[in-house]
Amino acid sequence: MMPCVPRPERHLIAADPQAVRDLLLALEAGTQMAALTPDSRECALLVLAEALNNVVEHGYPDAVGWIGLLPVPGRAGLAWRIVDAGRPVPELAQLRVAMPDGPAEGGFGWPLIRALTDEVRLSRRRGWNILTLRMRRAEGVLPCQDGVSAGAVA
């Protein structure tokens, strides 16, 4: 009998908001994030939501498209790679990382991603955007809860 080894989660979805929602629900119930604390899991799912929604909104603004998500070596559930063939993402340095000042209806996505990650890597290869995200652990002082970490990357 084959040993029962969990297969890595790999996902390929249509680039639309319903597919993103369905994927996040699947991740929440999946094995990769099962060992995380609720805080860590919620923060990781929020980061993935923001990154995936960015692809839908900015990568394929007027077109159908696909998004791939796969775990990368590292802490289970906290290290992910997002791949898409949409429009090139601007250089990370050009993306606004400061939270909007005062009431705003947008512009929170990248600041939230940066506040809740230790590492964000972006590359463009063969027409694909490859975004690697390593989440900040939420245990202990709960850095993702108090907003202090938001200042560390500004």
Chain residues in the site for another protein (CB under 8 A) = 17-18, 20-21, 24, 38-39, 42-43, 45-46, 49-50, 53, 56-57, 99-100, 102-106, 108-109, 111-112, 115-116, 144-147, 150
Q: Are 137 and 149 in contact (CB under 8 A)?
A: no
Query: Is the CB of 6 or the CB of 98 nearer to another protein?
Result: 98
Distance CA 13, CA 23 (A): 8
> 130 φ, ψ to 5°?
-125, 110
Query: Is the CB of 5 or the CB of 61 nearer to another protein?
Result: 61
78 burial type by CB count under 10 A (0-12 exposed, 13-18 middle, 19+ buried): buried
Q: Which two tokens stand for residue 68?
A: 């791939």
Query: Is the CB of 3 or the CB of 102 nearer to another protein?
Result: 102
SS3 of residue 11 by DSSP: strand
Query: Is the CB of 6 or the CB of 147 nearer to another protein?
Result: 147
91 burial type by CB count under 10 A (0-12 exposed, 13-18 middle, 19+ buried): exposed
Residue 128 beta carbon to another protein: minimum distance, rounded to whole angstroms: 22
Query: Is the CB of 8 or the CB of 141 nearer to another protein?
Result: 141
